[in-house]
Structure 1
Amino acid sequence: MARGKGDEGPHLVDRHVGRRVETRRKALGYSQSQLGAALGLTFQQIQKYEKGANRISASKLWEIAQFFKVEIGYFFDGLTAAAPGVAASDTVSLDHDYPVTRQSQEIARLAPRLSLSQQKAALAMVRELAGEQKADAQD
């Protein structure tokens, strides 16, 4: 079974699920070694899961969800469902394509404490720093 299109590397869904595992692990303060030990795996295997290099089996994903105390669906949050008649591989959308950092997690944690006008100002600043244009007019 193909992992992605051509030699592009891991499938987008595998990368997304791996990032969600990494995000949750870091949010809870676990190292790759600690998560691996809890699941009977090495830290290298956790590393491969988080990068999407190795797919996570359904049973292992269930174990990870139990360990993190989240529903299985947590790992798929942020993926866009396929429209009728359109191949799912053509519509997969990721929340981000960059590794999670402590700083990005802290920004995400603190943002809800801001007023709506402060959130808009912070978003405008982040977009400016990232060199991106406003995504839509409904912000």
Structure 2
Amino acid sequence: MSEAPDPLDAAVGVRIRMRRTTMGLTQTQLGRALDLSMQQIQKYERGATRVSGRTLLRIAKELDCTVAWLVGEEETQDTPLMAQLMLPGADRLLEAYAALPNSELRTAVVKLVRSMAQPKNWISDGSDHDD
């Protein structure tokens, strides 16, 4: 069984992914710009591989942000959002949400998840894991 990513590496990866997708870049495009493979970018974004200082500088330059922002030392208004995006599975949920074809479905998903988030609706089925 593999170890969970270091929380700081995972946080840096989430920020890289968020900035890359905001800029409309694919992992392949970012990798090419940095002379890295798409798989290496993927490992950085998952937090599976620690980003070296030199590479972090290059990524920050390519993504037009600061290293301080990538490592979470530069305060921005998105800090609470970043904490939520670092939860296991949050990125997959957001991707699925974004892929929904219309606003009615997105609204229904938000209502469903909000309903499920209410403690009175919690029903234990014996499983305690994120998929």
Q: Which TM-score band applies after superposition, normalised by the shorter structure?
A: 0.5 to 0.7
Structure 2 residue aligned with 1:45: 40
Find the partner of 1:59 among 54, 61, 79. 54
Q: Secondary structure at the match of 1:99?
A: helix
Distance 2:73 2:97 in 1: 16
Quick one: structure 1 residues 61 and 130, their matched pair in 2 at CA, closer, same or farther if it must change by over 3 Å? farther
Alignment correspondent of 1:10: 5
Q: Find the aligned partners of 2:34 and 2:59 in 1 and give their Cα distance.
A: 7
Which has the bigger relative contact order, CA under 8 A and spacing at least 6? 2
3-state secondary structure, aligned to 1:69: coil
Query: Gaps spanning 5+ residues in structure 1: where?
Result: 1-6, 80-92, 106-124, 134-139
Aligned residues: 96
| 2:65 pairs with 1:70 | yes
Identity %, equivalent residues: 32
Superposition pairs of residues 28-39 of structure 1, within 5 angstroms: 28-39=23-34
TM-score by length of 2: 0.61
> C-alpha displacement at 1:35, in angstroms?
0.1
Distance in 2 separating the partners of 1:130 and 1:78:
33
Structure 2 residue ranges without an equivalent (≥5): 75-81, 99-110, 120-131
Q: 1:128 to 1:38 in 2, by over 3 A?
A: same
Residue in 2 that maps onto 1:128: 114
Cα shift at 1:73: 1.3
Q: Structure 2 vs 1, CA of residues 33 and 77 (structure 1 numbering), >3 Å: closer, same or farther?
A: same
CA contact (8 A) 1:78 1:94 kept: no
Q: CA separation in 2, counterparts of 1:129 and 1:65?
A: 38
Which among 91, 101, 119 is matched to residue 99 of structure 1?
91
Displaced runs of 4+ in structure 1, greater than 6 A?
Answer: none
Quote how far apart the aligned CAs of 1:25 are.
Answer: 0.4
The offset of 1:74, in angstroms, is 1.1
